[in-house]
Amino acid sequence: MIENKTPLILCVDDEVVGLRVRKMLLERAGYRVLTAEDGRSGIDLFASQPIDAVVLDYAMPGMHGGEVAKRMRQAKPTVPILLLSAYVGLPEEVSSLVDIYMTKGEGAPALLQKLGNLLSM
């Protein structure tokens, strides 16, 4: 029952290694983690699972992070979304869709802190 109270995080990224490392990092921080390697399976998981927060990569083949975030918002508008990007500048219409966005180079502590903030809101 305690496990149920641990937040369930959905990580979406086409970079397999990066995704694996991120999962390990979040699990070490005490979260439960689900992963998806592209936008479509991410949306499916988001719809079927009680996701508490999403860590989403922007640059992905097929459907980019902005589009994925838009669809997730339509399905469950209250779930916070953190958008990760290798680019520094994201288009305005994408950054306004998500709760927070950060670049990949900011490091693990920053990611964990921002995710913590999102979940405690």
Partner 1 sequence: MFIEPINQKESRGRVELKRFEQTLRQAMILPIVACLFLAAVLVWQIHGSNVTVDRVEQSDQRITLATLIEKLVIDEETGLRGYQVTSDPRFLAPYHYAEAPMQQAIARLQVIATPEQKDALAQFATEHQLWHQTFAESLIATIGAGGHADNDDVNLTGRAEMDQMRSLLNTIVSTSQQVRIDRADQWHRQTRQILAIFIVLALSVGIFISLFTRNRLEHISAAFQTALNLQRRRAEELFQSEQHLRTTLTSIGDGVISCHVDGRVELMNPIAQELTGWIESEARDRPLDEVFHIVNEATREPVENPVSKVQRLNRIVGIANHTVLIRKDGSEIAIDDSGSPIRNAAGELTGIVMVFRDVTMERRTRAALLANEKLAVAGRLAATIAHEIHNPLDSVANLLYLLQQDPTDEESKHYLEIAQTELTRVTHISRAMLSLYRESKAPVPVNLKDMLEDLLLLMEGRFNALGVQVSSDLPPGVIVEGFPAELRQVFTNIITNAAEAAGQDGAVTVRVIPQKAVVKPSGDNTQAGAVVEICDNGPGIAPEIRDRLFHPFFTTKGERGTGLGLWVSQGIIRKHAGSIQLDSRNEGPDRGTIASVFLASKPVIDLGGD
Q: Where do contacts with partner 1 occur on this chain (CB under 8 A)?
A: 14-15, 17-18, 20-22, 24-25, 28, 59-64, 86-87, 103-105, 107-109, 111
Which CB, 32 or 64, lies closer to partner 1? Answer: 64
Nearest-5° angle of CA 62, CA 66, CA 69? 105
Which CB, 8 or 59, lies closer to partner 1? Answer: 59
User: What residues contact 51, with CB distance under 8 A and at least 6 apart?
Assistant: 8, 9, 10, 34, 45, 76, 79
CB 56 → partner 1: shortest distance, Å? 13
CB 77 → partner 1: shortest distance, Å? 24
Distance CA 63, CA 44 (A): 13
CB 90 → partner 1: shortest distance, Å? 11
CB 28 → partner 1: shortest distance, Å? 6
Which CB, 68 or 118, lies closer to partner 1? Answer: 68
